[in-house]
Structure 1
Amino acid sequence: MIGISIAHRNELIALARASPGEVCGLLLGSGERIAAIMPCANVADDPATRFELDPRALIAAHRAARGGGPQVIGHYHSHPSGRAEPSMRDAADAAPDGSIWIIVAGDEVTAWRAVAAGAMHGRFAAVTLATLGCEGGGQSPQGGHPATSSR
């Protein structure tokens, strides 16, 4: 299970809606909790149908992590005219390193782990994405508990 705040989930949906092409960025956090999202430029040759993270942003995020900043635990991207699941192209591009892939399509946000023999295209395993946030009892997005889950 991966935890994400309501605010971050809504931000991912808003970023995806704001662009006709695929949007992408990094997921920062520790363990099984996304603490921040970092939008990055999509430098792919055809950003309408694929994504490639700006390598400068990726290098900067890893340098910041080595300096004590939040760890890069994965990345996100959108499928503007597709489904919220990895494509065959995603599988071909993914290293089986255990990183988290979040995919956004419309209002659907799903999480996947890149693994050596995943059920999806031989590369991805579905991961429960627990939306953390306010749910009675004074819980907050920063210290909340699962409010809803999808995949």
Structure 2
Amino acid sequence: MEWTVTSAVLAMLRAEAAAAHPLECCGLLLGRGGAITQAVPAANVAAEPWHRFEIDPAALIAAHRAARAGGPQVLGYYHSHPVGEARPSATDQAQAAGDGRVWAIVAGCDVCWWRDDEPGFAPLPCSVTES
């Protein structure tokens, strides 16, 4: 499956990461099929948000309820690495569910896309479409 993301979502991810710095931002990636059309920011409720993230469970539950009611599907998650690269950290790998969801990781202006599969993260090609 070919994955796409809108330019507006990409801009939002970069803006969220910059605004949260030096903490990690996080949120949900929504859409249908392989098209990521929305990013929904969520509170980072991790005990150490400067180098970990944990999406507020209330935001996650609300997004899944909206999807069941016909809204966009939860395709994945995003978070930032205020210091480091736009690739899964050892902590990301240890906490990942292996559920096949998409992860976007933002570091500076770089946004890299990953698929969280059972054997671990794999790079995910994602093309940008106009909003």
Fold in common (TM above 0.5): yes
Larger Rg: 1
Across the aligned residues of Structure 1 and Structure 2, the Cα RMSD in angstroms comes to: 0.8
SS in 1 for 2:45: coil
Residue matched to 2:5 = 4
Residue matched to 1:127 = 124
% identity of equivalent residues: 52
Residue matched to 2:40 = 38
What is the correspondence of 1:62-141 to structure 2 with a 5 Å cutoff?
62-117=64-119, 123-133=120-130, 141=131
> How many residues are matched?
129
Q: Provide the rounded CA distance (Å) in 1 between the counterparts of 2:31 and 2:114.
A: 16
Q: Provide the rounded CA distance (Å) in 1 between the counterparts of 2:37 and 2:15.
A: 18
Which residue identity is paired with 2:91?
Answer: R
The alpha carbon displacement at 1:79 in A equals: 0.2
Using structure 1 for the length normalisation, give the TM-score. 0.83
More helix by percentage? 2
Which consecutive unaligned segments of at least 5 residues does structure 2 have?
Answer: none
Using structure 2 for the length normalisation, give the TM-score. 0.96
Write out the 4+ residue segments of structure 1 that deviate beyond 6 Å after TM superposition.
none
Q: Provide the rounded CA distance (Å) in 1 between the counterparts of 2:3 and 2:87.
A: 16
- Please give the per-residue CA displacement for 1:73-96, whole angstroms capped at 9, x wherever unaligned: 100000001100000110111111
Q: Which has the higher contact order (CA 8 A, sep 6+)?
A: 2
